[in-house]
Amino acid sequence: AQTVTQSQPEMSVQEAETVTLSCTYDTSESNYYLFWYKQPPSRQMILVIRQEAYKQQNATENRFSVNFQKAAKSFSLKISDSQLGDTAMYFCAFMKPDYGGSQGNLIFGKGTKLSVKP
Amino acid sequence: DSGVTQTPKHLITATGQRVTLRCSPRSGDLSVYWYQQSLDQGLQFLIQYYNGEERAKGNILERFSAQQFPDLHSELNLSSLELGDSALYFCASSVASQGNLNEQFFGPGTRLTVL
């Protein structure tokens, strides 16, 4: 069974600085997908960034980038130029592809609560 | 707005009761997923439906059941409710085309409180 571990329950960062959230996972699959979701106080789940395991290039989305280390089973999220609106819970998630015509479900870590301070 | 709707937004009920949570996926999405978010268990997958059929089961209790209707909306039924069932229940949908990675879009959730 796959597991996702986020070892940092809480983190804080000053506005405009850079912060890195850690995530490790365990799987015997060779092909899979990894995600970072953001959950602000509104509780809405928002996809931040995704990475396909067969792609060696790290994904980037504006101020968000990942450091994907497949051999180490590590998938960290870097937020550059942190903004107050980045304050939220961040969840790392794993998904195994389902080749039967649909797609697999998400397996989430416990989350990291990020506070951006002015 | 993700395009996924969930009703009701809040639900307060008593132990032993039964409730039904409803989800309407984004137009064109065939897959519906149900997730439970609680303080104890975190975010966990309950069940998935794809085009009307059950596709995968996660940590779903026997007291819980779900279905997806021909119009693709889905309902999650929770019965014999216990205090520990209090949680935020999310529905997500995906177009789920084979060979492509499609994002799961989450609804706003239903907050269930069991008293």
| Spatial distance between the Cα atoms of A24 and A48, rounded to a whole number of angstroms | 17
Using the Cβ of A91 and the Cβ atoms of chain B, whether some distance falls under 8 Å is answered with: yes
Instruction: Give the pLDDT of residue A31.
Output: 85
More confident residue, A97 or B94: B94
Q: Which pLDDT belongs to residue A11?
A: 97
- Measured between CB atoms, which of B45, B96, B109 is closest to A107? B45
Q: Is A73 within 8 Å of chain B by CB?
A: no
Query: Do the Cβ atoms of A68 and A61 come closer than 8 Å?
Result: no
Cα A15 from Cα A85, distance rounded (Å): 10
pLDDT tier at B106, thresholds 50, 70, 90: very high
- What residues form DSSP beta bridges with A36? A49, A92
According to the model, what pLDDT value does residue B101 have? 65
pLDDT band for position B110 (cuts 50, 70, 90)? very high
Say if residue A19's pLDDT is above 90.
yes
**Each residue of B22-59: pLDDT tens digit?**
999 999 898 999 999 998 889 999 999 989 999 889 98
Instruction: Kindly report the average pLDDT of chain B as a whole number.
Output: 92
Whether the CB of A3 is below 8 Å from some CB of chain B: the reply is: no
Strands B87-94 and B105-106, by their bridges, are: antiparallel
Distance (Å) from the C-alpha of residue B81 to the closest C-alpha of chain A? 23
The average pLDDT across A38-54 equals 93
Angle at A102 between CA A89 and CA B3, to 5 degrees: 50
- Output B2 or B71, whichever has higher pLDDT: B71
Nearest C-alpha neighbor of A95 from the set A87, A83, A103, A84: A103
Tell me what the mean pLDDT of segment A63-82 comes to. 97
On the question of pLDDT at B60 being above 70, the answer is yes
Q: What's residue A99's pLDDT?
A: 63
Residues of B in Cβ contact (< 8 Å) with A100: 55, 98
Q: Tell me how far apart the alpha carbons of residues B48 and B110 are, in angstroms, rounded to a whole number.
A: 17
Alpha carbon of A107 to those of A16, B16, B63, B86: distances in Å? 31, 29, 22, 20
pLDDT at B103: 78
